[in-house]
Amino acid sequence: MIKKTPQQIAMDGEPLLKDVLKDVGRHLDQPMRRAFLQRSLSLGGLSLLSGCAIVDESSVEKALLKVSRFNDKVQAWLFDPNRLAPTYPDSMITRPFPFNAYYGEDEIREVAEDSYRLEVTGLVADQHAWTLAELRAMPQADQVTRHICVEGWSAIGKWGGVPFASFLRRVGADLGAKYVGFKCADDYYTSIDMATALHPQTLLALTYDGQPLPPRYGFPMKLRMPTKLGYKNPKHIQAIFVTNTYPGGYWEDQGYNWFGGS
């Protein structure tokens, strides 16, 4: 009898895991997934899934990270770039729409409109810095969609701005690149997959409920993606870059699921 290594077992089990995670993959992207995995999997089971030997806290962290990254791949595999998130009438807008950030409302960043410039770098042909006037001059779209927070609450809001796919094409972005990253005035940062960046409902939001985006919702611009959980929607965006190098993210680098589909 040939004894297989944990890595070989994990590779053999991958097709089966894809079938299982097709049903449960979305639930594994919650921040409490660590507790879920630790409580629902034996150490031997975690070793099987990850191909890692579980001997201490460091190896547990490594194993959980491998499972999370595998979950990212499954979610990307399941993602339909043509499937639209539900939209709602204005009468269903949540008023007031909740404030959410990794800091309190008394720490909201103030960005000066006159001096604001959006930096665009990486795998793009046109790397000039964009003013708000230039962004507002582009064709705009509105959407009334639901924001879903990883903490368990949701709210419906009305966002307006530039379809992100149109902006990426305008700047000559490499649409075959893997990632689009964002850096923000509040020191937040995150990144998304190109398929989500090109989704028809992904928006560079410049307005909320028909008015210029207020500071509490991300002035001068936030990325609005109804196909992603709230922490994937950065506010106060200052820089956008296109890359094939994994950029990570503020919460993702602390263990949150990277794909973050809602």
Q: Determine the pLDDT at residue 80.
A: 76
Give yes or no for residue 40 having a pLDDT over 50: no
Mean pLDDT across the chain: 82
Q: Determine the pLDDT at residue 207.
A: 98
Reply yes or no: is the peptide bond before residue 96 cis, omega within 30 of 0.
yes
In which residue are the tokens 């629902």 written?
A: 40
Higher confidence at residue 57 or residue 220? Answer: 220
Give yes or no for residue 59 having a pLDDT over 50: yes
pLDDT digits over 147-162, tens only? 999 999 999 999 999 9
Query: What contacts 24+ positions apart, CB below 8 Å, involve 216-223?
Result: 216/99, 216/105, 216/108, 217/97, 217/99, 219/111, 220/111, 220/113, 220/116, 220/132, 221/118, 221/132, 221/135, 221/161, 223/164, 223/182, 223/192
pLDDT average, residue stretch 99-112: 95
- Strand pairing report for 222-224 and 203-208: antiparallel
Give yes or no for residue 6 having a pLDDT over 50: no
